[in-house]
A = this chain, B = another copy of it.
Amino acid sequence: MNSSEKRPLILVTNDDGITSKGIKSLIDVAVLFGDVVVIAPDKPQSGMGHAITVNQILRLDKSLLFGNTEAYTCSGTPVDCVKLGIHEVLKRKPDLVVSGINHGENSSTNVLYSGTMSAAVEGAMENIPSIGFSLCDFDANADFSVCQEVAKKLIINILNESFPKNICLNVNVPKIKFEELQGIKLCRQADAFWEDRFDMRHDQFGKPYYWLTGDFVRKGAAEGTDLHALEQGFASIVPIQFDMTAHAAMDAFKTWNL
């Protein structure tokens, strides 16, 4: 895409909600490269995965949060935001979908649970180059400046290089200073997992309720994985597809009596 063409149209969303510092940080980068439209959840939507709203109505309201940048809040999930953007709000197919910057890590198997990443996957399903950005820092007032530099570099590449069909990128940036960042590394998804626990409490009537909690077990951080790269001080990029077929496991079922 060169300067004589129309400016790229960039759809920005996230899962922490439109008021989060992370999305503001991403919008500040996106406006350097194109015409930006923001459609983001009106409330936190962490852990919503690839959920869509099918049994409820969706609201879409103009937001004035970002000055001259066209923005909307949506009552639904991050994937709803992308669908509304592409099929209702935008006048043409966007050239790029960016999601985030997430407050917190979305490496390894977190890609399954992450609303941030599911928004990017939805972009890929529409065959639009898409990136989800996450900073390994859950703080509401986290410093997104290093992730912003990584985002600039990646958006330049995405706008200037060819991008494979139906793919998105899962980008995680460690919580370190810019001068400590070792670079940006192409990785595969690590096999780490959450060791879940439920915290059972009792309400004012003595009835039990539960909070989902647990520890992220940083196993499977072999060389070549996103976890390994992050531990070595690199930003990690994992190309993500939505064909979930376990091609390598096909043979295991050939002995079955079907």
Contact = CB atoms under 8 A, between A and B. Distances in A.
A208 interface: yes
Contacts of A118: 49-50, 112
A245 B24 CA distance: 28
A87 B237 CA distance: 32
A83 B212 contact: yes
B157 A258 contact: yes
A258 B52 contact: no
Interface string A229-248: 00000000111111111111
B258 A184 contact: yes
Given A54-B47, A121-B112, A212-B80, A197 B87 contact: yes
Nearest to A56: B211
Nearest to A77: B51
18 contacts: A48-B51, A49-B52, A51-B113, A52-B212, A59-B210, A80-B212, A88-B198, A88-B200, A109-B125, A112-B121, A153-B257, A157-B257, A163-B252, A164-B246, A164-B249, A186-B258, A189-B243, A241-B244
Interface of A: 44, 46-55, 57-60, 77, 79-80, 83-84, 86-88, 109, 111-113, 118, 121, 125, 153, 156-157, 161-164, 167, 183-186, 188-189, 191, 193, 196-198, 200, 208-212, 237-250, 252-258
